[in-house]
Amino acid sequence: MAFELPALPYAKDALAPHISANTLDFHYGKHHNTYVTNLNNLTANSPLNSASVEEVIGEVAGNADKIGVFNNAAQVWNHTFYWHCMKPGGGGAPSGELAAEIDKAFGGLDKFLEEFKNAAVTQFGSGWAWLVADGGSLKIAKTGNADTPLAHGQTPLLTVDVWEHAYYLDFQNRRPDYVQSFLDNLINWDFVAENLGKA
């Protein structure tokens, strides 16, 4: 059973003007799709091709001989997760248990947003900033290139993609503006809360 490109949870123009349809054409239609194609090519005729993406990541994480499989599987998973971290008319503030956990871990939403933005902006080169559940508490993490918290025993709750292809067509080199726009206008707090419920 080959891996497939999952459908976006919204139309390609639904996140505009914060993320344009043009960016999604390239980011989802080209980059994400290429990771899926590569993963299928790398796992063809192997038991991994019938596993879930999460199972593939768990199986090959830390195996230097399988770094290509890991990188493509992790990028398939990271991107699928990232699309769900956003929604049209997103942003605002979380509520309920999620809000309470953010207050407990960071001292309030504003402090969390500040620390999350700092992690995203200071990730050198390509990578990701994350809110994760780890050891019973919420933490901010960042990973380089294709790395994912799944490979480190953490439960991802929220991510922002800071590879240049995520924002360059809309924001050029202004990564801080892209991250701020993500925080203000796109975060899908309902999805983040669902992930917390599974942690």
- CATH number of the domain within which 47 lies: 1.10.287.990
- 69 shares its domain with 130: no
Q: What is the CATH number of the domain that holds 105?
A: 3.55.40.20
Residue 133 lies in a domain: yes
Residue 90 lies in a domain: no
List all residues 6 or more positions away from 135 whose beta carbon is below 8 Å from its beta carbon.
Answer: none
Q: How far is CA 175 from the centre of its chain?
A: 16
Last residue of a domain, one of 56, 84, 112: 84
Asked if 72 and 24 count as a contact pair (C-beta separation under 8 A), the reply is no
Q: For every one of its 199 residues, what pLDDT tens digit does the chain have, with 9 covering 90 and above? A: 589 999 999 999 999 999 999 999 999 999 999 999 999 999 999 999 999 999 999 999 999 999 999 999 999 999 999 999 999 999 999 999 999 999 999 999 999 999 999 999 999 999 999 999 999 999 999 999 999 999 999 999 999 999 999 999 999 999 999 999 999 999 999 999 999 998 8
Last residue of a domain, one of 62, 84, 106: 84
User: Which among 151, 143, 130 has a CA at the least distance from the CA of 56?
Assistant: 151
- 53 shares its domain with 105: no
Last residue of a domain, one of 60, 84, 108: 84
Q: How far is CA 197 from the centre of its chain?
A: 18
Q: Residue 181: give the domain boundaries.
A: 96-198
Residue 1 lies in a domain: no
Amino acid at 78: N
Tokens of 1: 């059973």
In DSSP notation, 40-60 reads HHHHTTSGGGGS-HHHHHHHH
Residue 188 lies in a domain: yes
Using the Cα atoms of residue 77, residue 94, residue 9 and residue 30 in order, give the sign of their dihedral: negative
Which residues, listed in sequence order, are joined to residue 161 by a DSSP beta bridge? 128
Amino acid at 141: A
Residue 16 lies in a domain: no
Q: What is the pLDDT of residue 108?
A: 97
Residue 5 lies in a domain: no
Question: What is the pTM assigned to this prediction?
Answer: 0.97
Please tell me the distance from the alpha carbon of residue 57 to that of residue 48, in angstroms, as a whole number: 10
Q: What is the pLDDT of residue 199?
A: 84
Please tell me the distance from the alpha carbon of residue 4 to that of residue 148, in angstroms, as a whole number: 20
Number of domains in the chain: 2
